[in-house]
């Protein structure tokens, strides 16, 4: 049995101010084993991105627990969470989030440098080469295609060798073919490095490539393929 890398207990969060507050996460329980790929689907506004932000330690819960790799993020202060995230969690966004006035190489190397990782430019060059961008190291984001920009973002996310890779609609801004190439890259990196991959997507085909699918609706988990499987197994055992 693989070890549990994510353990979310009764996770509850309301966002916004009094005039416009939204109960976004309504007591979510979720356990994910290390090395799994998990596709998260659900209607727009159902809380998928917020769930990922909580798992990345970028949003703090109002109540409940979040344990990543046995570290209780809910019990850490902001600096401790940021330090943990930098070492253990890679994040990829729909809109790439690259720094416009830095080259591809700098976008990957500078966060490593800020985290005092030795040889940041060497690591950045290696990561960019491994995502197929050896010929684009000195290009600025504005000089790269959408697919290339997402490759830079993936290289940046992978550079600290995180155990957990979180991607929020990583193919959402890309055409179908480019989106498929980016998805192929994410899955091949996940397998190659034995990472856990959490992927929010509108694309059911992409979610179905994951070893587990979760459907979120209105701040709750409405359907979880792992729960369905374990229920089917226990029903078979009873029958």
Ligand X SMILES: Nc1ncnc2c1ncn2[C@@H]1O[C@H](COP(=O)(O)OP(=O)(O)O)[C@@H](O)[C@H]1O
Name the residues that contact ligand X, by CB under 6 A.
15-16, 22, 24, 42, 44-50
Q: Which is nearer to ligand X, 60 or 126 (CB)?
A: 60
191 binds, among Mg ion, ligand X, none (CB under 5 to 8 A by kind): none
Q: Which is nearer to ligand X, 41 or 109 (CB)?
A: 41
Provide, rounded to whole angstroms, the least separation between the CB of residue 164 and ligand X: 18
213 binds, among ligand X, Mg ion, none (CB under 5 to 8 A by kind): none
Provide, rounded to whole angstroms, the least separation between the CB of residue 134 and ligand X: 34
47 binds, among ligand X, Mg ion, none (CB under 5 to 8 A by kind): ligand X
Binding site for Mg ion (CB under 5 A): 49
Instruction: Output the residue with the shortest Cβ distance to ligand X.
Output: 16
Q: Which is nearer to ligand X, 48 or 151 (CB)?
A: 48
Provide, rounded to whole angstroms, the least separation between the CB of residue 15 and ligand X: 4
Instruction: Output the residue with the shortest Cβ distance to Mg ion.
Output: 49
3-state secondary structure the chain: CCCEEEEEEEEEEEECCHHHCEEEEEEEEEEEECCCEEEEECCCCCCHHHHHHHHCCCCCCCEEEEEECCEEHHHCCHHHHHHHHHHHEEEEECCCCCCCCCCHHHHHHHHHHHCCCCCHHHHHHHHHHHCCCHHHCCCCHHHCCHHHHHHHHHHHHHCCCCCEEEEECCCCCCCHHHHHHHHHHHHHHHHHHCCEEEEECCCHHHHHCCCEEEEEECCEEEEEHHHHHHHHHHHHHHC
Provide, rounded to whole angstroms, the least separation between the CB of residue 45 and ligand X: 4
Provide, rounded to whole angstroms, the least separation between the CB of residue 181 and Mg ion: 22
């Amino acid at each position: 049995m693989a070890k549990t890398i994510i353990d979310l207990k009764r996770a509850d969060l309301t966002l916004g101010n009094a005039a416009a507050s939204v109960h976004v996460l309504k007591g979510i329980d979720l356990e994910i084993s290390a090395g799994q790929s998990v596709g998260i689907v659900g209607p727009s506004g159902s809380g998928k991105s917020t769930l990922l932000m909580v798992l990345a330690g970028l949003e703090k819960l109002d109540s409940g627990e979040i344990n990543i790799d046995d570290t209780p993020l809910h019990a850490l202060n902001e600096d401790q969470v940021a330090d943990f995230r930098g070492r253990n969690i890679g994040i990829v966004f729909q809109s790439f989030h690259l720094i416009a006035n830095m080259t591809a190489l700098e976008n990957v190397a500078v966060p490593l440098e800020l985290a005092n990782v030795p040889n940041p430019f060497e690591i950045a060059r290696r990561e960019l080469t491994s995502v197929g961008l050896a010929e684009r190291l000195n290009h600025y984001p504005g000089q790269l295609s959408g697919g290339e920009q997402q490759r830079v973002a993936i290289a940046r996310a992978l550079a600290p060798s995180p155990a957990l890779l979180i991607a929020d609609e990583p193919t959402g801004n890309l055409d179908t073919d480019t989106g498929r190439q980016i998805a192929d890259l994410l899955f091949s990196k996940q397998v190659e490095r034995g990472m856990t991959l959490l992927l929010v997507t509108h694309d059911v085909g992409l979610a179905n490539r994951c070893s587990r699918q979760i459907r979120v609706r209105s701040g709750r988990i409405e359907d979880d393929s792992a729960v369905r499987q374990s229920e089917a197994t226990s029903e078979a055992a009873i029958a």
